[in-house]
Structure 1
Amino acid sequence: MDKPNSSTQEAVPIRQNLSPRDKFFLRAKRRFLRHIWLARLGLVVAVVASVYLAIVVIGFALTRIGIPNYVHLVSDFIFTPAAQIHSQEGRTNFLILGKAGAGHDAPDLTDTIIFASVSQGKPSTVLVSLPRDIWVPAIRAKLNSAYYWGKQRAEAGGLVLAKSEVEAIVGQPVHYGIVIDFSAFKQIIDVIGGIDVDVDRAFVDNKYPIVGRENDECGGDREFKCRYQTVSFSAGTQKVDGETALKFVRSRNAEGEEGTDIARAARQQKIIVALKNKILSPAVIFSPKKLLGVWKEVKDSVESDIDPSAAAILARRILASRNEVRQLVLSEEFLANPQVSPRYDNQYVFLPKEGNWSKVHEWINCLLNSNCLSGK
């Protein structure tokens, strides 16, 4: 009992001798700690443009700065110093990648590719999904393999190469990059109790791959039917768990419109928005257990080059723009789909329809400057 009493008595004169600046930060710290769940949410909302952007921020902020530096982090969150974050013309841009992860034949292929831009002024966030099948001449492969080939060159080269190739497509600098493992994505949804997803069109996929059976000979079956399962979704709003959400975003063999890469990119954004809505709901933000559960799943499953100060500033900006999020998919009107040929390694690919990406540059610039009348 003596030790706590001694500490309390010694604290009084120390506080009396604090400078006005130190007193301010002490008050900020006390206020921060009284509302620790809100601060955590602010950081959680910094990584996947609405959700990815959020979850990674808390992970990298807490991992790199530690608890003792919370006050400095709060200062950045409150004052959002422009010198502490990269931006151009008042916007900070991210590349958000989702990879298959361990247990898959190609764990470093990034089938989720989203260009995200957050305003440092008037609250707004823009998300543009890019098709994974865009052909990248520099690596003679699709865009979804840029991260993989970058990692072959250097340990941190995956994000470097992927960001560079996306910059060439969108015509904007990509200041930061974020990679999330789909396994964490699935677990996060389960931790928060599932999400509500609005399915626009019903679809059936009879060739959804079964993990672990990619090389199964199926007893000599030439169609290898044992490697696949059937997944189906009805139109309308429905609650899904992590495994079902993963099937919803990864399905690519449905008949009709939902079997296209463009439709799959749109489904990915639906899951992101649904996840964001659930994280911001009272059922989650008032539950320290759920927030800590999300953090536990994220901390070992996310790669990013974001620094803690930038994370805090983005947390503030994204919270401010949570109701001003535009979600778009790079339209097929900008893309050409050439015949499968040895020129493209006999793969299904997309090329810029005009022969270069200038029209896409104009469209993206239009979106970021808020002078587009529509998504086109």
Structure 2
Amino acid sequence: MTTKLTADAKPRNQQKPRLTRWLTLLLALGAAISVANIYYCQPLLALMGQTFHETSTQMGFVATVTQFGYAAGLLFLTPLGDIWSKRSLIVILSFTTAITLFALSQAQTITWLEVASFLTGMWTIVPQVIIPLAVDLADEKTRGQVVGTVMGGLLLGILAARTFSGAIGQWFGWRTVYLIATGLMIALGVIMYFALPQLTATAKLTYGKLMRSIAQLFLQQPILRQSSMIGGSLFGAFSVLWTVLAFRLSQSPYHYGSAIVGLFGLVGIGGALIAPIAGRIADRRGPSFMIGVGIFITFASYVMMLLGDGVLLLLIFGVLLLDFGVQASQISNQARIYALVPEARSRVNSIYMVSYFLGGTLGSFLAAISYGLWQWTGACLTALMLVSFAGTIHLVKR
């Protein structure tokens, strides 16, 4: 596809290294280990609050600044993958994240904790460099399957992080979680340095031109705008569940504690494990088809959880369907947008993921309000509204 952008960003001729199954799994593992850094804090906030003698409101701000840091990294650092070697960027980000994680583990004041959390969020954008790298290395015929595998790893990291940090924090303290995470990021940086192929950067742009081109891309690519709105809406619906689930499970007829809530992350892992199937279907039937299927499954999951409120088995199955539906659409959306401007994949990914994050933030905000007013019914109807918006955007002609 020809755009004004390509005049300043022509890809250089180079022989593409072969993407082996082992390397694909390594990229998925790297995405899982790195994305987990954003979510470790969620089960640990109460423990942190005890350490610093702070209220739940103040500790909630720690999770917020981590997400803001991640958004800042998505917007200002992820696009560097188009003008720097992605391998070098991944290695630098891994070691830098390790430094901020160690600083976080040593926090002595709440301000120290918040600043370290923001920086950890900002630097831990490694998954959003790994995904475009995987697309660069993949053949066109298997691109959806490769994205599905890497995204499956990312979702596993998101869901397993809560269970892991909750258990480690309960037994060994919250600082130990971040010390372990520090070691994991150092190991990841070393492994990626030796295992990843060195690809030449695809664009010759200054950083200023790079950032200006992001707005240009968004205006020039209708498919990117459509995918961003769909992805943001579905992740908003996904965030609704995880914002209110702990409150619902603490009430009748469940009366479950935080340990059981953490185990629901393991239920979501089932959706992540079968998500690569969506990538293979997208390769055969086209991404648009699988996006529609994912939207339908996500809608059905909330109908099930709404009508089956109070029935544990239906809640578990609904969570499984939700993770699969959102993941299926996510994989297909990304397979579609990465084909638009190959030499600008990092910037395309930045636009998409910032929209994705903003949708999740909106979903959490609306969930808190609707649950406070109308409990579980209000939260489910809010999620269904977001999914319906995604379906409408999908059906509207570009």
TM (norm. structure 2) is 0.26
Q: When you count strand as a share of all residues, which structure comes out higher?
A: 1
TM (norm. structure 1) is 0.28
Q: When you count helix as a share of all residues, which structure comes out higher?
A: 2
